[in-house]
Amino acid sequence: MTRFSEFTDLCIQIEKISGSLEMTDVFAEFLKIVDEDELPVSCYMIMGEVFPAWTGKKLGLGPNLLYSALSKAAGIPPDKIKILLRETGDIGETTYRALSEDKKSQSTFSSFLAAEDEKSGTFEIAGKLSISDVYGRLKEIADVSGKGAQDRKVKGLQFLFSESSPLEAKYISRIALEELRIGIGEGIVRDSIAKAFDVPVAQVEFAFMVTNDLGEVAAAAKRGGADALSRQNIQVSRPVKMMLAQVTNSIEAAFSELDEAAVEWKFDGARLQIHKSGEEIELFTRRLENVTNSLPDVVKAVSAAVTAENAVLDGEAVAIDENGNPRPFQDILRRFRRKYDVETMSRDIPIHVNLFDLLYADGVSYIEKPLTERRQKLSEIIKQDAEGISVDELKITKDPEAAAEIYREALAAGHEGIMIKNPMSPYSPGKRGKNWLKKKPVMDTLDLVVIGGEWGSGKRKNKIGSYVLSCFDNIKNVYLEIGRVGTGLSDDLLDALTEQFTDLIEAENGVTLKIKPEIVFEIAFEEIQKSPNYPAGYALRFPRLVRVRDDKTIEEIDTIEKIERMYQGQKE
């Protein structure tokens, strides 16, 4: 077993490093010495996660539950925890200070629970937690459900705080809220695995694309090197990240990059990854959330239409009206979120799925095959007369005007625009590049994450009246504030947003709120301007909320690099 204190020491060391190459070297050395069973967990935790994204598993711990556990473990009132949080601005440092003030206050509770757990041998004595111990307790917390679940989650976390040193607890609290943020993301973990086990980075990258699990990749690399990585493959019922598109300013610009292009509609809906294994069908969103139970009509359509025994398909689910025209985007999100009375909702808001790609079919992975071959196979395994599901029309052309005509047709039908793809390109899960380009009429929108807000006044009293927006810096691995939005929000929308954000409030200072980065806004604006007032160095002129992008994760928000390119494009 590897002591959790060793993981804590690693985090402290990495926090002092600014360069990604040195971070890679340090984490690679840790991977060499960590216990093999704890290798996957170490990869998840160093990125501030507990479970790989494809599992859909969550701790279910909001800030308030953590404050309660910390209050009980430290023996100080919850109000004092919040005062400390306002002072530090960081839950980790708050935890460290709270437990450092009076560690003795935990002893009675700690001794009681330690005696309880001694029977099962789950944990070592106080101060000697292993990585497996911490992971095991967090997994137990995630598995808690039913009556009294919140109290049991608090008790579990309280035990961890009581059994750890203040320094260990500092990082446990950050991991529990998925806020480790020490500068290590997927790229550094990937490179560290390659360095630690002397395997090519390209093979680590491929294995990650098909498994969507860097912990599993690390274990395979240690166990069998490059040969083990080469045997990794897409698995039905395990969602992988979806291939993404890059914006193009014009159809002509897109065609200048390609000899010929594959052109299709960009539907006004939500991405849907479909997994079929015999009679078992599962549906996943862009965020890899399992929405199978919410979409029984889509399950039925897939069962009737897909002739392959096993398949992984990519498409766009569109909510339609009685005439087959697209309904507002929020209607499709209502379908995805629905947990009760789904049959009624499926009748009220019917869905049509437009399939446009194939990742896997009957034992064969298609992601490395060209788009044209994937589309040919897709057409072969989907019945042409199927109800509620179809393969969208794809036209391969060298003529920009032909693409422009398809663009006009898509807009006239109520959709967003067109996709312009490289016909010979592979399917690259989680990647955004020039192989897939999208053209929409409204260029000036950004996907930004909410990191703060302010309580309103007057009519907006007791509502969050404005929101602080942030882009992401891939180099420094930090969020950069770029502006605020608060105008044009109806009272109903303010009520809904306030309810949605309440559990994500991490700290309050007067009317100012610190909010856990989790919810993505699509923001329209007139212009990007240089500004010293925001850490991004830019500000948005006349920002307004277009929609809440519940279908997008924070990993998909726009970057400072993109904003800089857009700013330069304005000047040109």
Q: Where are the domains of the chain?
A: 49-176, 245-439, 445-571
Q: Which of 485, 479, 487 is nearest to 557 (CA)?
A: 479
- Reading the chain (572 residues) residue by residue, the pLDDT tens digits are 899 999 999 999 999 998 899 999 999 999 999 988 999 999 999 999 999 989 989 898 888 899 999 999 999 998 889 888 888 888 999 999 999 875 544 444 444 444 444 444 444 334 589 999 999 999 999 999 999 999 999 999 999 999 999 999 999 999 999 888 898 999 999 999 999 999 999 999 999 999 999 999 999 999 999 999 999 999 999 999 999 999 888 999 999 988 899 999 999 899 999 999 999 999 999 989 999 999 999 999 999 999 999 999 999 999 999 999 999 887 898 899 888 889 899 999 999 999 999 999 999 999 999 999 999 999 999 999 899 999 999 999 999 999 999 999 999 998 989 999 999 999 999 998 899 999 987 657 899 999 999 998 777 888 999 999 999 998 888 999 999 998 768 888 899 999 999 889 988 888 899 999 999 999 988 789 888 889 999 999 889 998 899 888 898 999 999 999 888 877 66
Residue 230 structure tokens: 């080469």
Task: Please state the CATH superfamily assignment of the domain spanning residues 245-439 in this structure.
Answer: DNA ligase/mRNA capping enzyme (3.30.470.30)
Q: What is the CB neighbour count within 10 angstroms for residue 102?
A: 11
Closest by Cα among 284, 281, 294, 346 to 320: 346
Of 27, 36, 26, 32, give the one whose Cα is nearest residue 1: 36
Distances (CA, A) of 186 to 93, 314, 403, 424: 25, 23, 36, 27
Residue in the block written with tokens 């007369």:
385
**What pLDDT, on the 0 to 100 scale, is given for residue 468?**
97
pLDDT at res. 122: 42
Q: Is the distance from CB of 325 to CB of 297 less than 8 angstroms?
A: no
Distance CA 209, CA 402 (A): 34
Question: Distance from first CA to last CA of the chain, Å, rounded?
Answer: 58
Nearest Cα residue to 502 out of 447, 551, 455: 455
Pairing of strands 351-361, 389-391: parallel
Question: What pLDDT, on the 0 to 100 scale, is given for residue 217?
Answer: 97
> Any idea which residue has 């704890």 for tokens?
38
The reported pLDDT for the residue numbered 96 is: 95
Catalytic positions are 266
Q: Look at residue 115 in the predicted model and tell me its pLDDT.
A: 47
The CATH code of the domain at 49-176 is 1.10.3260.10
Find out whether 272 and 316 touch, Cβ atoms under 8 Å: yes
Parallel, antiparallel or unpaired: strands 417-421 and 505-509: unpaired
C-alpha span between 45 and 39 (Å, rounded): 10
Provide CB contacts within 8 A for 324, sequence distance 6+: 352
* Structure confidence at residue 529 (pLDDT): 87
Whole-number pLDDT of residue 515: 94
Cα distances from 294 to residues 39, 339, 342, 429, in angstroms, run: 35, 6, 6, 25
563 touches 471 (CB < 8 A) = yes
Report the amino acid identity of residue 321.
D
Q: How far apart are CA 44 and CA 215, in angstroms?
A: 6
- Is residue 74 a contact partner of residue 105, using CB atoms and an 8 Å limit? yes
Tell me: domain 445-571, CATH 3.20.20.60, correct?
Answer: no
- The identity of residue 364, as a single letter, is V
**For 164, how many CA atoms within 13 A lie in the half-sphere containing its CB?**
32
Amino acid 507: pLDDT:
86
Kindly state the tokens that stand for 404.
């422009």
What's the CA gap between 554 and 287, in Å, rounded?
Answer: 9
At residue 125, the pLDDT reads 38
Residue 453 to residue 92: CA distance in whole angstroms: 21
Residue 251 φ/ψ region, left for φ over 0, alpha for ψ in the -120 to 50 degree band, beta for the rest? alpha
Q: What is the distance between the alpha carbons of residues 439 and 265, in angstroms, rounded to a whole number?
A: 10
